[in-house]
Amino acid sequence: MTKAISGKKKIRWHIAAFLLPAVMVYALIMILPLLATLKLSLYDEINSTVMFVGLENFKKLFTDPNWSEPFWNALINNIWLFVIHMCVQNPIGILLAALLSSPRLMLRGFYHSAIILPSLLSLVVAGLVWKLILSPLWGVAPSLLELVGLESLFLPWLGKEAYAMTTLSLVSVWQYIGIPMMLIYSAMLSIPDQILEAGECDGLTGFPAFWKIKLPLILPTIGIISILTFIANFSAFDLIYASQGLLAGPNFSTDILGTFMFRTLFGSQLQLGDAHMAATIAAVMFVIILVGVCVYLFGIHRRLRRYRFQGTA
């Protein structure tokens, strides 16, 4: 009887006591404002009276041309921003991490610091600096291209609708490429030497060793980087606002969901502020990010872990 009583698991109340302050702060800063935003999206001001309208604001956002056209334009730009980061930033980050992990590379610490340094800059500073660099009037880009005889290639990239979003996306890639590089580099350093030595015994060195040994082991890290990129891109705001202003010119070609929501909330020279529609846009942004995170956690992450273990078997 004594053994049965002693075998019961004790409730560790001290764990709840340590977690409670963090949970309270998180709820106060994140959960409560989120719930308030979702509640605000279900109301509207009609004849100076705030009334419950249900999903009417969402219907207006998706069907009313005055709202749907700028919304879909901002969403498409957000998707393009994410695609460029996935297709440019992450592959280059993997390549840089692979080069930095090579024991034959000289001045490895210098290259590591030089690549990670732009990510320490403020997005506002980066946006303004690149706007000055690419300016056709006082920027240094035309002069640098002229020095190498490529002045004909210069275009006002931030002033043309067809190139502005791509240009700003590449600026963002330049600034944050050090983060995936650092994470992947750390993942490569954590690979046990015994695995690499076993691969060398089987004749796997250089690129074959990276493809068949290292890549399967760092796939979970690549997956985490991808979902972090997704979250950051669909909540972006600073770079567009700093370089192109609140109207996200030219002609809203660089408008994303963040600037669209900010402009809707506080208003601009073209429209009045509408807190209820801004909350509706914020709610849609939350749903998009939530769906992306759920797809990663319950779909991609499990498969990556399974592939990782199969690849090292």
Structure-derived torsion over alpha carbons of residues 249, 251, 256, 259, reported in degrees to the nearest 10: 60
In DSSP terms, 45 is beta-bridged to 50
In a domain, 22, yes or no: no
Task: Give yes or no for a contact between 140 and 259, defined as CB atoms under 8 angstroms apart.
Answer: no
Phi, psi (deg, nearest 5) at residue 177: -65, -20
In a domain, 158, yes or no: yes
pLDDT of residue 67: 93
In a domain, 212, yes or no: yes
Distance CA 83, CA 6 (A): 57
In a domain, 185, yes or no: yes
The count of domains in the chain is 1
In a domain, 4, yes or no: no
How many Å is the Cα radius of gyration of the chain? Answer: 25
pLDDT digits (tens, 9 = 90+) for 54-96: 899 999 999 999 999 999 999 999 999 999 999 999 899 999 9
Q: Assign 140 to helix, strand or coil.
A: coil
Task: Give yes or no for a contact between 176 and 162, defined as CB atoms under 8 angstroms apart.
Answer: no
Q: 232 is written with which tokens? A: 């950051």
Task: Give yes or no for a contact between 225 and 90, defined as CB atoms under 8 angstroms apart.
Answer: yes
In DSSP terms, 44 is beta-bridged to 51
In a domain, 25, yes or no: no
In a domain, 213, yes or no: yes
Full domain range(s) for residue 264: 63-311
pLDDT digits (tens, 9 = 90+) for 195-254: 887 887 877 777 777 888 888 888 888 888 999 999 999 999 988 998 888 888 888 999
User: Is residue 110 over pLDDT 70?
Assistant: yes
CATH at residue 79:
1.10.3720.10
Q: Which residue has the tokens 């695609």?
A: 83
Higher-confidence position of 252 and 9: 252
Establish whether the linkage from the previous residue to 250 is cis, with ω within 30° of 0. Answer: yes
Q: 18 is written with which tokens? A: 């340590």
Give the residue-averaged pLDDT of 7-15.
70
Distance CA 193, CA 156 (A): 50
In a domain, 164, yes or no: yes
Distance CA 152, CA 277 (A): 45
